[in-house]
Amino acid sequence: MTDMNFLSFLRVPPFVLEAILLQGKRPDVSKLVGWEFKGHNIGLLPRLGRILKFKKGFVSFGDEVIGYNVLVEQNSPTEPWIALPDESNPKRHGFFKVYPAEFSPKHNLYPHALLLDYSKGGNPIFDPSRVLRDYLVKPFEDNDDLYLGKAYAELFGKTIFVGFFVLERYNKSTFKI
């Protein structure tokens, strides 16, 4: 399994992704900060919603780490991640706070993961991203560029599985807070 790459994750069955997630290690947040990662959602809901490709960035804000998503062109996973509306003015949205999942009293299904908590990202009250909670692990000890995530939505007090996603280091972040 250690020879897996970004594209190979897109073909892995969900039960194998779950096993990889369970064995993954918590990412070193300092190796995420200052970078944007190309991302691809895996699963039926993202496919139906036509939200497969995205970028996710991480920046420090005082002693905290926050993150954001970047809207990208929904082309093939073998083509470049092109920011929309354009590369010089990317749409950043879906902000989240990053912290160890074990510190969350409610969202700690994977205590060995990082939690990307969109409810603490300062998103507008009616922004649908506010319901998202992502768990992020480093699947392979010797690779700080590839990560596996699992997304949930919190709706009406219930935590609902949305899908898996994979991230790979892509470019330096230019976002300034």
First to last CA, the chain: 38
Quote the CA–CA distance of 125 and 145 in Å, as a whole number: 33
pLDDT at 114: 98
Return the SS3 of 174: coil
Quote the CA–CA distance of 56 and 71 in Å, as a whole number: 9
Per-residue exposure over 98-120, b if at least 16 CB sit within 10 Å of its own CB, e if not = bbebeeeeebebbebbbbbbbeb
- How is residue 103 written in tokens? 């510190």
Domain spans of the chain? 6-172
For residue 154, give the nearest of 128, 125, 123, 136 by alpha carbon.
128
Q: Please name the amino acid found at residue 118.
A: Y
pLDDT at 49: 80
Grouped pLDDT means (10 residues each) for the chain, 177 residues? 86 96 97 98 86 97 96 96 95 97 90 97 95 97 97 94 97 91
Contacts of residue 105, Cβ cutoff 8 Å, sequence gap at least 6: none
H or E element: which one contains 68? strand 64-70
156: left (phi over 0), alpha (psi -120 to 50) or beta: left
CATH topology of domain 6-172: Lipocalin (2.40.128)
Quote the CA–CA distance of 156 and 66 in Å, as a whole number: 25
Return the SS3 of 137: strand
Q: Please name the amino acid found at residue 26.
A: R
Supply the pTM of this predicted model: 0.95
pLDDT at 2: 62
Quote the CA–CA distance of 108 and 78 in Å, as a whole number: 34
